[in-house]
Amino acid sequence: MIIAIDIILSLILIFIGYISVCYYLNNIAWISINLTVLRPSKNKIIYLSLEILTVAFIIVLFQAVYKLDAISQIKLLVLVLIIFPIAAIDLKLQKIPNCFILSALVIRGLIYIAEFIISVPAAFSTLKDGFLGAIILGGFFLLLLLIFKNSIGMGDIKLFVVMGLYQGLWGAINSVFFSLIVSFFISISLLIGKKKGRKDTIPFGPSVLLGIIIAIALSGM
């Protein structure tokens, strides 16, 4: 039953995310109907393939290794499937759109309601852990930005807040840790390959996506 929920939810979010990326990158209004921008291309097929393979990998992990409850699985799948389109847009435009952050917050709010319906004490514990993660991570990197100008973008900070709400304090810390490691190696590779200079900015969204996937794979949170 849980696996069916995971698959159905994932397919819905993959579909919505794909449309959202195509519309956003082509500057098309959300209420418009434009099937032209949805036509498959090499990059779009790669994007969808990576997303589907990642989701399949995570669902297998949930069932075979970590045995998480339904709500925990849904939270992590939703987080990954929201970060995917954000990473694609950040890679292309070096921008993290507020509309995707807002969507993540709204969905998290709905999941909180479901958690309170299932168990009030457990929901309060999760709520506390989530807000603690959001405040600590968001506050730390905001302070870092204020001390070291242009060290990190506001979009990335908002992303860390979302991660805190979905993963809790330690889950988000794990993801940020691996994200920084991934970002370091990507930066070194780009510098060695002379594709980027020392003063060039590098989109952090793809590193965050990989960091979250690694953290889930190694800890289940």
CA distance 28 to 35: 11
**Which pLDDT tens digit goes with each residue over 11-41?**
999 999 999 999 999 888 777 777 788 888 8
Measured CA to CA, the distance from residue 103 to residue 19 in angstroms comes to: 14
pLDDT tens profile 146-176 = 888 777 888 899 999 999 999 999 999 999 9
Residue 166 and residue 158: Cα distance in Å, rounded?
A: 13
pTM of the complete model = 0.92
Q: Which sequence spans correspond to the domains of the chain? A: 2-219
Residues in Cβ contact with 201 at an 8 Å cutoff, skipping those fewer than 6 apart: 94
CA atoms within 13 A on the CB side of 125: 5
- Calpha distance 178→214 (Å, rounded): 7
- Tell me what the pLDDT averaged over the chain comes to: 90
